[in-house]
Structure 1
Amino acid sequence: MVLFQVLGPLEVRGHDGLVCRLGGGKPVAVLAALLVEPDAWIAVDRLIAATWPEPGAPASAEANLKTYVWRLRRLLPRHEDGARIESRPGAYRLRVAPGELDAHCAAEAAESARHALAAGAAETAFALATEALGHWCGRPFEGLDLDLGDTVARLDDLRRELWACLAEAQLELGRTADAVTTLRSLTADDPLREDAWARLVRAWHALGRPAQALAAYHEARRVLAAELGVRPGPELAEALRAMHCGARPAERPPRRELPRDTPLFTGRARELELLDRACTGNPRVAVVTGPAGAGKTALAVHAAHRLAARFPDGQFSVALHAAGSPVPVATVLARLLHGIGIPPALVPADADERAALWRSELAFRRVLLLFDDVADPAQVEPLLPATGPSAALITGRSETLHVDGAVRVRLGPMTPAEAAALYRAAAGERGAVADEPVVAATVRRCHGLPAALREAAATAGTPPIAPLWTIRRREPGKVA
């Protein structure tokens, strides 16, 4: 029968067998100090230091200590082999039989639960861990303002170890929802315990809650970085990988955001081959630059449509508007995270946190990204995949747009043959019957730029607009 309860407010069973909560006072301090090391001889000096933690114990401390021990002997039942509190010159000890101290009972149950788990006896481990945790009714030695060394910390660790055993047993028994509750308590109490975070990620995913699993991973990553300055270790990283690679619950279809492909796209065979190779290499990023009207966007969109089948997890297109009001990186990241299914409530407020979450998502997905009209590398770097099979196509006018490791495609005027073919295709029937000299002159006038060629093709054969001064001013009552 448990006689001493220290896993919460200190309680004992008296001679009458009734539980007595002792509260505060010097006798309780003496008893607590003796219970820290039951069955061990504790020097009088240590007991005095524990009983009077304030600077300077009174001169009568040793005499007072004898009085407090006498009171405790009157309160406590005798030990089965004699006196409960024994004394010898300069020391005292409190004798505790097996099963009489709740902390000892909990430690023994924890050891048995670990052995049961190792033996595959999850049901037994669950029962033992549950029984042991039932001894706690608060913080060890709660309410006592005493210096008990590392005793309280050790008992807190024991409780966390029991939580971990319980959660593992719950997972083995298929009680996944209960395991989530246990692991959330454990990670809240000990946020630096990486193995608990890893189990929580797995448990949320097993419940079909990938968003919560991902949120748990990133909360663990944030805590580890902030408190220890380290990245997630192998166990947590493996939990994330298993979540992405394992069977996932039904989700909404991947996003398909690519703009409409340019009708009658013509030429640029060499550039298209470069982009194809870039998006299958490493780091799978390509940058297309060139002057206005060179067809950068049209080329990137056409290349993206050719590549789309290789990226089944989605294709995203984002106009960053370098020429107007550039879109903030944090805004783009929020939109992309929403697009892959992260609930708005789980998108971090901090831009760096959003970028980290985005990179983590891309690490195990095959996603194609098209970033159009980029001003400078700083605008696009946080949006790019760091590892994994995803790829990005970037367009921009600036020749200084440089992304480390990216394949660069400098887009200039089309060759005369390509420009002529584009003009004839865009002009339709009028282009098919146009004289070679007329087409050649149009190509020269448009400097081989696709945008100008398409505009010229759209107006080919259109009667010119009469000058304003040739239009008669209507007079009232007359029909023009």
Structure 2
Amino acid sequence: MVLFHVLGPLEVHAGTAVRRFGGSKPGTLLATLLTKPNGWLATEDLVAAIWPEPAVPVSAEANLKTYVWQLRRSLPEYDGGPRIESGPGGYRVRVGRGELDTHRVGELAEQARLASSDGRTEAAAALLEQALRTWRGRPFAGLDPVASTDALAQLDDLRLGLAERLAEAQLALDRGQDALSTLRSVTADAPLREGIWARLIRALHATGRRAEALAAYRQARDLLAAELGVGPGPALVEAYRLALGDARSGPARRELPRDVPLAGRTAELAAVRRAARDAVPVVLVEGMAGVGKTALAVHAAHRLAPDYPDGQFFVRLGDGGQPGTPDPAAVLDRLLRGVGVPAAGIPSDLDGRSALWRSELARRRILLVLDDVPGPDQLAPLLPAIPTCLTLVTTRNRDWHPDGATRVRLAPLGTEAAAALFRSALGRRDTDRQAVAAIAHRCGGLPAALRDAAARLHSRPHWTVRRLADELDDDPCGVLSDAVRRSITDTCRRLPDRERAAWYALGDLPGEFGPAAAARALGITVGAARPALEALVDRGLLDVNGGDLYRSHVLVRHLARCAVVPAGGPVRRHHGGRRVA
């Protein structure tokens, strides 16, 4: 017999007697204990549930004991003892099998699963209907402190999941009208659950109600935009395409790399979203090596992907100097195959492939992420011709700009965001704040270096965060990986002689300097130094700070000091710190 009824206002059924608790404090206590039947709950947690801050009375624990005593008097015993047991620092309610209505629902759900797996769909539907009838309203209705817990969300998820399964069974039994009624009831109760809307659209399509299916999609899309500020997800988009009768063969390509958490990029992400909303065809994300351009573009692409159901592509073009860097013709060959063009139909020349690519995209909504693009010559053949597609471009070079593009510049993270990113990558929050701040400073707020430092700590479990900070302070080259160092130094070593000499000179200059100081370090005139410095700005190796001052990144300066200067290069002055080639 079910003793405790929580799927609605809390009730206790003992024989023919029914006790209702309303919003009383003993009722809140019992309901809180029933969120974890047979499990111990600490006294302080029970006090917090009964008296939310700041209304906790001085006599809270004494009052709690009184409520326990009252409940023990009114509840039937369990196995010859009190229903509510006390222990060191806490209490629990003893519940036997079948005495809690949520347990009964779980039993019915499992029986329905077994019936469905045995092909007994009609029996499964009957069991699911019986389980759903157990709900008498909102769980723990009238007990607000309990209603705010995770237990309520779990019970809501349980009910919605049962309704989805029931609708599937009803469709399988050719009870389309019943399935639609079930799904419409759920969308009314949980209007922001995309999965339910997708099932409703599919059910409407299956019952020949195409116009209603399309109307349901628009309603779901508008709700998500208004309430959450997001577009429809993949399941909803696929249901919409089914309702439209889209007959394209094969699934759309989903090539985006794994998403990673970001820190301190709210404004930049908002700029990308605005560009997509305003149908800007290209977003150019630029910044120095390691600043997180790819991470930002991929993160934004994952969130924009539902608006581009015909495919999301990711292509790394390199920086023009790495062996094996794909040329635009090879990239177009891959992209054309990705949208279903057979190999025999792909032209052999670059212009022909570019024209065919634009033609193919004229009837699609595609999201394209082009990573580490060196310049406009590599980009132009790959760009779609229509604004219904979006291209996110990352580059470390500032000296070019595509027509009509939105430009998003990434700077190194500030101290707080850098510390947050490091802690996120480390997976710990209880870290030495001063040491974390020192690491953020020594990495210069560069996300690649911060993630690399966290990875080094993972691989050195005997190190503390303070030890990592000290190692970075002693010699960043001994901590950071080759990949992070090469991301900066490879750019530098491929510079023309004059600009490369200017980079070497950064090792002997302060973090902020003027053209005259650079000219002295290089042994040339100010007029000759300026073009070299501006070239370093274009490559993301220097920044401009005000009218006539330049600012270099701490790691760029360190790597310049560590670099081996070729014969005939600028003469270095002695500097403090270790030199590691």
Rg larger in structure: 1
Higher relative contact order (CA closer than 8 Å, sequence separation 6+): 1
